[in-house]
Chains A and B, each alone.
Chain A
């Protein structure tokens, strides 16, 4: 079912000047911040708790609870994670370029609620235009008085620094992001301490929130946490951005009410994905980024809800859905995902650093038709060394969850497409057509 839910984070993104201060103010901008500043910080946090806003970065941790875990200390930091790099995820990129003031406003609301006077927005380095728009919005916000020594005349002081990344997937992991922000290699930190809320940036308690999570805050404060929680179904409340790509007629982002719409709606509805080109049958889809186990057509009627997808053995993750049709070679797709993990492993932990390379090589030779039947067990064994038992949610032998994400695609192919794997071995080559550019 496609509901007529309000557009919470995308109300301005289709305006040609939605990124300017002028348009922001003309469309209710900074009213959420103004209202927040008229409330005690604890009440702002309580509204967000009421909203049941789950983190939109991938892990889905409740934002309000994350804030409440923040250790008491004279100095606390807020870091906004705009290092969007999960393959097939492109929602934060769009929000950064098209509504940067919404992010600045949300950042100020979150900072005020958590007692922070210094915030950083870590923006993926490859978003050159996004960085320019964010910095421009930041400059305008200072001039307007929404940031700086006396925010909107309330005496609250907040400084925001726009920080560019430099190209490393792992920096999306929050402790790696903090290392990177400290000017080092993006190596995830050893846990415990588990949460930056206890030990974060420069060792101080730090909140790390995703760009989309932050973008929801102005609406939540303006309309109230209950209005947000009334959308969707708790705990998957509100709307959410889904990034749809792969073999669909209309790849793109869609803001959809959580828990109401199904994957079938998202992929096939003419107002959303518009179906598969040429009417090809669906072979499989990835429900939430390449770290997520795949689903077959039998899961199309699952609701877009964090719990529903979790119970079905995968995750909604970063909200990116990749569609594979009957012309898609599942072995090639899994190989490309393995290649990504191999290239992006930070190299700290042996199972991930070495395992990702083994898995990539074995998948490559299988795809090329140079593999043996035993390679299927071999690649699963390599996966098992990274995530023992190959269960879901996965077990972990590494510092961060990057490692246990590697097996997802491989195990999916071994389970769902064993016959296709065997045909590659038997025929000595890939039976599927090459992935060609669509013309016309």
Chain B
């Protein structure tokens, strides 16, 4: 039984059709599954494997390489505090220490109510707003400890629901355009062609999303 909803399944198939090799869709599909479930569940990884033509272990092995893909459940808001050089010089460790104390958790943990997961990030390319923080990959900064408390309060109360959508960076992305990808003739390891090859997308015009 498919794990992805029928809407997401259709979206997944359209994403696969964008690429000359289906395996290229692996990371976008992981983002899509996270948008649905909040994290990358074993059932989702099995379905992604089937969609891109590899094994579930290969999906897991690939996903585990990337910081944004969570193979364990996370809180509703994943808070990543950058502590790299530019943010550190602007006091990021003070913010991170405060965040851990205020949320009552250590880096890598999730609050008991499932609201927040705290992560320490490498540079997020927001150094002109140092120290910067992301919540579900939306930027906030510069933040001091008081600003951090105000932010978490706004998140808890739902006041930032529009600014900070749920997990999955694809939740507001609509790829309604594009040409069907031509299957790649050669490959560097992955299957050369599969379900996403030539002919699986519409010939012209809009792709279903």
Contact = CB atoms under 8 A, between A and B. Distances in A.
A168 B65 contact: yes
Contacts of B20: 118, 202
B30 A75 contact: no
Interface stretch (B2-10, B102-110, B134-142, B153-161): B134-142
Contact of A184 (B86, B139, B176, B189): B189
Contacts of B169: 125, 128, 131, 164
B179 A437 contact: no
Interface string B89-116: 1111111000000000000000000000
A105 to B, nearest CB: 16
B12 interface: no
A438 interface: yes
Nearest to A327: B89
Given A85-B122, A165-B27, A183-B24, A437 B128 contact: no
A99 to B, nearest CB: 16
Q: Is the interface of B mostly helix, strand, loop or mixed?
A: loop
A108 to B, nearest CB: 13
Interface of B: 18-21, 23-28, 30-31, 52, 54, 61-63, 65-69, 83-86, 88-95, 122-128, 130-131, 134, 136-139, 142, 144-145, 169-170, 172-179, 181-182, 184-190, 192, 204
Nearest to B87: A245
A204 B126 contact: no
B161 to A, nearest CB: 15
Contact of A93 (B126, B142, B185): B126
B10 to A, nearest CB: 17
Given A139-B175, A166-B27, A202-B187, 6 more contacts: A75-B182, A75-B185, A85-B125, A90-B126, A161-B178, A340-B84
A245 B124 CA distance: 13
A344 B86 CA distance: 17
Contact of B85 (A87, A183, A251, A438): A87
A272 interface: no
Given A182-B23, A438-B90, A336 B84 contact: yes
A169 B65 CA distance: 11
B135 to A, nearest CB: 10
A169 B128 CA distance: 19
B23 A148 contact: no
21 contacts: A88-B127, A118-B181, A125-B27, A125-B169, A132-B173, A147-B177, A159-B178, A159-B179, A160-B178, A166-B27, A182-B21, A182-B190, A199-B188, A204-B186, A245-B130, A247-B89, A324-B89, A343-B122, A346-B65, A437-B131, A437-B145
A437 B178 contact: no
A329 B25 CA distance: 44
A166 B28 CA distance: 9
Contact of B93 (A90, A159, A290, A434): A434
B84 A75 contact: no
Contacts of B31: 125, 164, 166
